[in-house]
C-alpha cells in the first residue's frame, strides 16, 4: 500500500506569503530607492548561465560551490557578478556603468547548524547587487558604495559597522609573516574564517593554517599577531606606517596609499561607522577581490566562550551574519573577448536583512491572521442590513451591493480597498466585531461604514480611522468618525489618507553621518 509523501520544500529554502513578503518588498523598495538616487541602472539576467562555472571557487576547489546543470548546458547563478561579467563581454561598447540587479542565487554549501550540519545542500539566496564598473580615480567608486551602504542601513534602522580591509595589505601581511606566494590565497581564505573574536575561532584557524596548509607554527603565530588588529581607519593606517617591516613590502605600501585616499573621501561623504580589520578576507565565489573589501554586519557583542559543562545557554542568541559584502574586482570580464574592466560592487543579502527586521517586529503574533496580512488602505464594512431586500428598504441584504459599488469607486480611483465578499448578517455587535477583526488583519488604516442610520441620512457613509489611541479619540470630539455623502466618498477618503501620511513625511529623518537608524 503506497502512502503519499508529505509536502515539503528543499532544505534552506522558504516560501514567502502575506506579511513576510510585504516586509521583503519594503526592504527591496528601500534599497532600490537609494540605488536609483545614486544613478543605478536596473538589470535582469537569466538564472541559467551558459557554459561551465567560472574556475575560481571557494577554498581553492574550482567551481565546487556553483550549481552545474550539465544536462542543460549551463549553471545556475551563484552570485550576480558572473552574469554582469558575461553581459559586459557581450556589450564591448560599454566601458562605464552603474547598475543594480535583484535576483535569486543558488550554490552548494555545507550546513552549519542542527540536522543539516556538514550536509551538502543547495542554498537559495536572494541578493541585490550594485556595481560601479569602469576606470575611475582610485577609491572614488568604493567610497560612494560605502556611502550607499550607510544610507540603506540608516533607512532600514539597522545599527551596523562597516568592516574594511585591502587585499594587497592582507597579501603583504601574509608575505611578511612567511607565507609563500603559492599559498597566499588559501591561507587568506582561512584567515577570513575568523569570527569577531579570535578567542572563539582563532585556535581552530591556527590549526588549519598549520595542519591543512603546511605552515610552520611560527608563521601562524605571526599571522595571528597582525590579523588580531582592528580599529578606526586612520588609527590603523598610522599603526601600519610605524611598522618598518610591513611598510617595506610593496603590496602594503600600495594598499596604504589607497586607504589614505579612502579616509579623505569618506570624511567628505559623511561616512564614519567604518572599522579597519586586517582579518577581513572576502573572496567572491567566481572572482577574487583585488583591492578594497568590505563586510557590513550588526554591532554585536563579542561571543563568549561556551560554558564549562558544554550545555547550551537558554538565552537566545543575536542574529549574526553579514547584511552586505563586496569589494573591488580589477579584472571583471577578463578572458571574455574584451579588455578587463575594473568594478567595485556590493551585494545586499535580502534574506538576512529580512531575518533581522522580522526579529525586530517579533512582538507581533505569528498566527495566520498576521501571516496573511495584505496592504489595503481602506476596509468597507456594514451592519444592520439583515432585512434589506433592495425594494422596500432601498438597500441590498447585508449592504453587499452597496459595498461592492463603493469598492469599485475606490478601485477606479487607484485606492487599495477590500470588503468581505458575503452578506454580513447577525447581530450588529457581532457584525462590527467581525468586520473590525478583518479590517485589522488586512492592515487597513481607514474604515468605510455602511448602516441603516447612514443610509437614511441622505445615502451617506461613515469614515473612521483605525489604530488611534483612547487619548487621541478624546481629543477629537467627533471620535474619529466622519459622516459623508456616498458620492463624495472617494474625495474624502483621499483627503484623509493624505492627512494620515503627512505626519509620517514630516517626521522622516535625514540620513546621518554614521548611517545609523
DSSP for 24-87, written as a single string: HHHHHHHHHHHHHHTTPEEE---SEEESSPPS--GGG-TTSSBEEEGGGTEEE-SSSHHHHHHH
Residue-wise over 445-472: b if at least 16 C-beta within 10 A, else e? bbbbbbbbebbeeeebbbbbbbeeeeee
Dihedrals φ, ψ of 200, to 5°? Answer: -85, -45
With residue 107 as reference, give the H or E element that holds it. Answer: strand 97-110
Helix (H, G, I), strand (E, B) or coil at 464: strand
Per the CB < 8 A criterion, the answer to whether 332 and 141 are in contact is no
Give the residue ranges of the annotated binding site for L-histidine: 79-81, 107, 127, 131, 282
CA dist., res. 191 & res. 393, Å (int)? 80
With residue 265 as reference, give the H or E element that holds it. Answer: helix 250-269
Per the CB < 8 A criterion, the answer to whether 170 and 226 are in contact is no
All residues at 6 or more sequence positions from 188 whose CB lies less than 8 Å from its CB, including other chains: 170, 171, 174, 281, 283
Give the residue ranges of the annotated binding site: 79-81, 107, 127, 131, 282
Per the CB < 8 A criterion, the answer to whether 425 and 382 are in contact is no
All residues at 6 or more sequence positions from 428 whose CB lies less than 8 Å from its CB, including other chains: 383, 384, 451
CA dist., res. 85 & res. 382, Å (int)? 58
With residue 4 as reference, give the H or E element that holds it. Answer: none
Grid cell listed for 109: 554549501
Closest to 323 in 3D by CA, of 93, 453, 153: 153
Closest to 515 in 3D by CA, of 147, 36, 130: 147
CA dist., res. 99 & res. 344, Å (int)? 11
Amino acid at each position: 500500500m503506497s502512502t503519499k509523501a508529505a509536502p515539503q520544500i528543499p532544505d534552506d529554502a522558504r516560501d514567502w506569503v502575506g506579511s513576510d513578503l510585504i516586509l521583503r518588498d519594503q526592504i527591496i523598495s528601500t534599497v532600490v530607492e537609494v540605488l536609483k538616487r545614486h544613478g543605478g541602472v536596473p538589470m535582469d539576467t537569466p538564472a541559467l548561465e551558459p557554459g561551465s562555472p567560472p574556475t575560481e571557487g571557494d577554498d581553492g576547489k574550482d567551481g565546487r560551490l556553483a550549481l552545474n546543470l550539465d544536462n542543460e548546458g549551463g549553471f545556475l547563478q551563484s552570485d550576480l557578478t558572473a552574469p554582469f561579467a558575461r553581459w559586459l563581454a557581450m556589450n564591448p561598447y560599454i566601458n562605464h556603468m552603474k547598475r543594480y540587479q535583484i535576483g535569486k542565487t543558488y550554490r552548494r554549501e555545507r550546513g552549519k547548524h542542527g540536522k543539516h550540519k556538514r550536509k551538502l545542500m543547495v542554498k537559495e539566496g536572494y541578493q541585490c547587487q550594485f556595481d560601479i564598473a569602469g576606470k575611475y580615480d582610485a577609491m572614488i567608486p568604493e567610497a560612494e558604495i560605502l556611502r550607499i551602504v550607510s544610507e540603506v542601513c540608516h533607512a532600514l534602522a539597522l545599527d551596523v559597522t562597516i568592516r574594511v580591509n585591502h587585499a594587497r595589505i592582507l597579501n603583504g601581511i601574509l608575505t611578511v609573516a612567511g607565507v609563500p606566494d603559492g599559498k597566499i590565497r588559501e591561507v587568506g581564505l582561512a584567515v577570513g574564517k575568523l569570527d569577531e573574536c579570535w578567542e572563539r575561532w582563532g585556535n581552530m584557524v591556527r590549526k588549519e593554517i598549520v595542519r591543512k596548509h603546511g605552515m610552520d607554527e611560527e608563521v601562524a603565530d605571526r599571522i595571528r599577531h597582525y590579523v588580531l588588529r582592528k580599529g578606526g581607519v586612520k588609527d590603523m593606517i598610522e599603526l601600519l606606517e610605524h611598522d618598518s617591516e610591513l611598510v617595506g613590502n610593496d603590496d602594503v605600501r600600495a594598499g596604504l596609499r589607497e586607504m589614505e585616499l579612502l579616509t579623505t573621501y569618506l570624511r567628505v561623504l559623511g561616512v564614519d561607522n567604518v572599522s579597519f580589520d586586517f582579518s577581513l578576507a572576502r573572496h567572491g565565489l567566481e572572482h577574487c577581490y583585488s583591492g578594497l573589501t568590505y563586510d557590513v554586519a550588526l554591532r554585536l557583542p563579542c561571543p563568549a566562550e561556551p560554558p564549562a559543562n558544554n550545555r547550551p545557554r537558554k538565552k537566545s542568541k543575536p542574529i549574526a551574519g553579514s547584511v552586505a559584502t563586496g569589494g573591488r574586482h580589477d579584472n571583471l570580464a577578463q578572458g571574455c573577448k574584451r579588455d578587463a574592466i575594473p568594478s567595485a560592487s556590493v551585494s545586499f543579502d535580502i534574506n538576512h536583512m529580512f531575518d533581522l527586521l522580522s526579529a525586530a517586529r517579533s512582538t507581533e503574533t505569528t498566527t495566520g491572521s498576521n501571516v496573511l496580512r495584505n496592504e489595503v488602505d481602506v476596509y468597507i464594512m456594514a451592519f444592520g442590513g439583515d432585512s434589506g431586500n433592495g425594494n422596500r428598504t432601498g438597500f441590498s441584504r447585508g449592504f453587499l451591493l452597496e459595498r461592492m459599488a463603493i469598492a469599485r469607486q475606490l478601485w477606479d480611483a487607484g485606492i487599495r480597498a477590500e470588503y468581505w465578499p458575503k452578506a454580513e448578517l447577525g447581530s450588529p455587535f457581532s457584525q462590527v466585531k467581525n468586520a473590525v477583526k478583518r479590517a485589522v488583519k488586512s492592515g487597513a488604516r481607514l474604515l468605510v461604514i455602511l448602516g441603516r442610520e447612514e443610509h437614511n441620512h441622505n445615502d451617506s457613509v461613515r469614515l473612521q480611522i483605525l489604530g488611534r489611541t483612547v487619548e487621541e479619540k478624546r481629543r477629537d470630539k467627533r471620535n474619529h468618525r466622519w459622516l459623508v455623502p456616498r458620492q463624495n466618498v472617494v474625495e474624502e477618503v483621499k483627503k484623509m489618507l493624505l492627512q494620515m501620511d503627512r505626519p509620517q513625511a514630516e517626521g522622516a529623518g535625514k540620513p546621518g553621518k554614521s548611517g545609523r537608524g
